[in-house]
Structure 1
């Protein structure tokens, strides 16, 4: 995940921890994708298959971009990988909404939410590829706002998803949101970005369990 531009550069140890943590995320995401696909095939729903593929693909992209960004030291390459890392966050957010919208909501609620969230994600991706690390606080606020847009559909979610699924879904959102606190502390707290990565892994894990068990 992206680092906040700051006067204090990340140490070698910090970047090593950042790379390893999300490198683990890459491995888990790659291993987890076929499990999601097989489960969706077993369910027999095209919507579940599409949702699982989009969620799994966006997860792999996010963790791959983050790992490469933190692992590479070449200045120019790192700058471009940072843009991709920033943009991939938008895609993961939209990718997480996709199986819920297609498999759980399904009706006009799902289609409307999916259209809005993917429009915002694509605009955010282009924006980040163009401006890079600028407007970081605005981008962070948008990430959080997009994530919690699910509250708009809380009533149909409550009607169509078991309580355990809702707990996992919103528990993942809480993990990401709490992690943002450490994301913003890079300047003052060493290894805060690594801690942020751990919260991201926890959030993704909750959402993976949601998609696997309840997004159909």
Structure 2
């Protein structure tokens, strides 16, 4: 009986977030927490304004993947939930990066590219995202140098369709798409190298990474408006 109670206490200690003594930066997770309702509002407006059923469905995919990334990231990063819960949330959080990459491509392709190119591009990015998610759950302890380049490579698949995107989408759309990709890439470099780490107490390298991802998302959200409404 005593052994059972000790085992229960041991499990509780693993699950109890108060057991953690490691301090996260004070701003950890707050950028994405605030971005959750903002992204919902911005993309709900896009869904309402989009004139076609296919375009609205594509915007809804972008909305869902954005909410998953920002919502789970904010939940995971602002608090310690215990060892087991943190492992699960970490895998989910990293998986959402792949989902958002594919989810971002969806309205861009549907709104701008010809049908055949749309199908090919979305097949590539969604299959790539699925493979990345499988890697995340099958090898959760993979080092940063393994999965961070995969994010970047999958995110820049659109380069193969750059002439078509520029031709059909226009200059503003193309520049916003590229600017968002650059922001995401710079953020990935910051995350991969854990540098610069300005203030580990308040605003460390991870917060800078989140700031760049948010800037990239804003660029791509605006470009989605151009893609679906112009």
Q: 1:141 — aligned with what?
A: 149
> Structure 2 vs 1, CA of residues 201 and 187 (structure 1 numbering), >3 Å: closer, same or farther?
closer
Tell me which stretches of 4 or more aligned residues in structure 1 moved more than 3 Å: none
1:192 partnered with 2:199: no
Secondary structure in structure 2 of the residue aligned to 1:17 = coil
Q: Could you say if the C-alpha distance between residues 66 and 87 of structure 1 is closer, same or farther in structure 2, counting changes exceeding 3 Å?
A: same
Q: CA deviation at 1:203?
A: 0.2
Structure 2 distance, partners of 1:34, 1:165, is 20
Q: Indicate the residue corresponding to 1:4 in structure 2.
A: none
| Aligned mate of 1:62, from 64, 69, 73 | 69
In 1, distance between residues paired with 2:21 and 2:111? 41
The 1-side partners of 2:179 and 2:119 are apart by 23
What is the alpha-carbon distance in structure 1 between the residues aligned to residue 164 and residue 31 of structure 2?
35
* Residue of structure 2 in register with 1:96 after alignment: 104
Matched, 1:51 2:58: yes
Which segments of 5 or more consecutive residues in structure 2 lack a partner in the other structure? 1-19
Root-mean-square deviation (CA, aligned residues, Å) is 1.9
> Could you state the TM-score of these two structures normalised by the residue count of structure 1?
0.88
Q: Deviations over 1:45-69 (max 9, x none)?
A: 1221111000111011011121121
Pairing 1:183–2:191 present? yes
Query: What do residues 143-191 of structure 1 show as CA deviations (whole Å, max 9, x unaligned)?
Result: 0001111000011112101101111111000001111222123377230
Which residue in 2 is equivalent to 1:39?
Answer: 49
Contact residue 39 and residue 212 of structure 1 kept, 8 A: no
In 2, Cα distance between equivalents of 1:79 and 1:175:
27
Q: Which residue of 2 aligns with 1:165?
A: 173
Kept in 2, the 8 Å contact 1:162–1:214? The answer is no
* Residues paired across the two proteins, number: 204
CA–CA separation in structure 2 for the residues paired with 1:187 and 1:98: 32
**Equivalent residue number for residue 16 of structure 2:** none
Query: Aligned runs of 1:14-29 on 2, under 5 Å?
Result: 14=25, 16-29=26-39
> Do residues 204 (structure 1) and 212 (structure 2) align?
no
Whole-Å Cα distance in 2 between the matches of residues 93 and 133 of structure 1?
21
**Secondary structure in structure 1 of the residue aligned to 2:194:** coil
- Higher-Rg member (1/2): 2
How far the C-alpha of 1:28 sits from its partner, in A, is 1.2
What TM-score do you get using the length of structure 2 for normalisation? 0.83
* Contact 1:182/1:192 (8 A) holds in 2: yes
